């Protein structure tokens, strides 16, 4: 450990000196947050009170919308506060809390989308048996399992980060992310890096591969079916594929910015790419599924 200091706060340097523009940014962020809350809450309410929507697909959608409200709340209140604040210091405790919320949101979102692809696979490839297989008990298990998994994975991430000592406390971010925090550490981060790699590979393999398999099987069935069946399957699956790609791009932007130098990009573009995954999917999904 070299030149380590017991910092009590991190400084979020990406806010910079935005002057009077902070009121414009605050208004934009507030409108986005209100729209996200209203759109997701409305669809949750509709699914809950409309008995005809108490089917696996809509119950999984409801879980998706609840998770999006959870993830948005991990970002927006702090973002709105720091936009208007003259200081951009965040306590270590709240920084780790924000990391935990955003990371559990991200992993749960991927898992929920994977579960939804499994439901599409069952309903298209095995329509007669689908209702017997997707029992209420199994649906509850498929909704709860992603949450338990993400809690377990990220509890280890946070526990490994809590032990670190830091050489600096300036994050070029508008919110805390674990990779940026670990890069500031003077202490040994080998365990953090190993676990991050394991968690990333495990999470992607447990979600992407089942999704790819599901859609390969759906495609095989569609190629053997009538034009009407293909069109129905296409309409059912396209919204899910769009959601998956949208969220995957957002996570990819975050990963690339953490591992590559993006100083040549305009600051506003860097910030937009950073906040893509906790803002645009919660905004995009309820509007698309609602329509």
- Given pLDDT bands bounded at 50, 70 and 90, which one contains residue 236? confident
pLDDT of 239-279, one tens digit each? 888 888 888 888 888 887 777 777 777 878 888 888 888 89
pLDDT of 5-34, one tens digit each? 677 889 998 887 777 888 999 999 999 999
Nearest Cα neighbor of 147 from 41, 34, 66, 88 is 66
Across the range 59-88, mean pLDDT stands at: 92
Quick one: DSSP state of residue 175?
S
Cα-only R_g, the chain: 21
- Given pLDDT bands bounded at 50, 70 and 90, which one contains residue 3? low
Across the range 33-42, mean pLDDT stands at: 95
Distance (Å, whole) CA 26 – CA 79:
8
Asked if pLDDT for residue 227 goes beyond 90, the answer is no
Question: In the predicted model, what is the mean pLDDT of the chain?
Answer: 87
Asked if pLDDT for residue 4 goes beyond 70, the answer is no
pLDDT of 150-173, one tens digit each? 999 999 999 999 888 888 889 888
Whether the Cβ atoms of residue 288 and residue 65 lie closer than 8 Å to each other: no
CB neighbours (10 Å) of residue 159? 11
187: Cα separation from own chain's centroid: 29
Asked if pLDDT for residue 106 goes beyond 70, the answer is yes
Q: How much is the pLDDT for 5?
A: 60
Distance (Å, whole) CA 249 – CA 279:
12
Distance (Å, whole) CA 43 – CA 62:
7
Q: How much is the pLDDT for 220?
A: 82
Beta bridge partners of 5: 166
Asked if pLDDT for residue 2 goes beyond 80, the answer is no
CB neighbours (10 Å) of residue 41? 14
Contacts 24+ apart (CB under 8 A), 86-92: 88/11, 88/12, 88/13, 88/15, 89/9, 89/10, 89/11, 89/12, 90/9, 90/10, 90/11, 90/12, 90/176, 91/8, 91/9, 92/7, 92/8, 92/9, 92/10
Distance (Å, whole) CA 120 – CA 106:
21
Nearest Cα neighbor of 68 from 236, 286, 254 is 286
2: Cα separation from own chain's centroid: 35
Domains and CATH numbers, the chain: 9-290 (1.20.1070.10)
pLDDT of 271-289, one tens digit each? 888 888 889 999 999 988 8
């Amino acid at each position: 450990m070299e030149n380590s200091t017991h910092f009590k706060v991190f400084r979020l340097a990406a806010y910079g000196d935005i002057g009077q523009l902070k009121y414009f940014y605050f208004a934009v962020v507030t409108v986005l947050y209100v729209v996200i809350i209203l759109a997701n809450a409305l669809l949750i309410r509709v699914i809950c009170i409309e008995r005809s929507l108490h089917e696996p697909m809509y119950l999984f959608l409801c879980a998706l919308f609840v998770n999006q409200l959870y993830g948005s709340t991990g970002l927006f209140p702090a973002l709105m506060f720091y936009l208007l604040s003259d200081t951009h210091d965040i306590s270590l405790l709240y920084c780790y809390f924000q990391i935990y919320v955003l990371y559990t949101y991200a992993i749960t979102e991927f898992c929920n989308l994977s579960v939804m692809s499994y439901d599409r696979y069952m309903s298209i490839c095995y329509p007669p048996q689908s209702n017997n297989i997707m029992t209420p008990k199994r649906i509850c298990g498929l909704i709860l399992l992603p949450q338990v998994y993400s809690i377990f994975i990220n509890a280890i991430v946070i526990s490994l980060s809590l032990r670190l000592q830091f050489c600096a406390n300036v994050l070029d971010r508008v919110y805390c992310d674990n990779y940026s925090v670990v890069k500031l550490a003077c202490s040994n981060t080998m365990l953090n890096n190993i676990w991050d790699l394991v968690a990333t590979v495990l999470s992607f393999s447990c979600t992407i591969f089942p999704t790819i398999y599901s859609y390969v099987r759906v495609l095989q069935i569609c190629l053997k079916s009538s034009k009407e069946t293909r069109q129905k399957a296409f309409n059912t699956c396209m919204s899910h594929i769009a959601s998956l790609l949208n969220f995957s791009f957002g996570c990819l932007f975050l990963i690339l910015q953490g591992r590559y130098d993006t100083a040549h990009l305009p600051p506003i573009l860097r910030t937009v790419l950073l906040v893509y995954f906790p803002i645009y999917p919660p905004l995009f999904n309820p509007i698309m599924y609602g329509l």
